Amino acid sequence: MAWSIEEVVEALRVALARVEVVLPSLGVDPVTGASDDGFALVELGRCNVRTAQHVTDVLRAMPTGEELRARVRRLNRESRVP
């Protein structure tokens, strides 16, 4: 099921809030969001330097590559019902 652009923006807002990031200008681009062609843009907007630094810190702290795959495999194994 495809999400609406509004659902995508709200899901992103919630995900960012979970890591204490607020992008005040987050929203649907008014020009591309007005059409139904499926290519609407999400406006991330401008933020201050502290917010940009916090976003960078959060992204750097996230596992990537093989570390991420190993975590997913471990979580999948742990969640299996015996």
Structure tokens at 6: 């509004």
Residues forming a β-bridge with 42: 28
Residue 81's pLDDT is 66
Residue 35's pLDDT is 76
Residue 82's pLDDT is 62
Q: Which ranges of the chain have pLDDT less than 70?
A: 1, 36-37, 81-82
Residue 2's pLDDT is 79
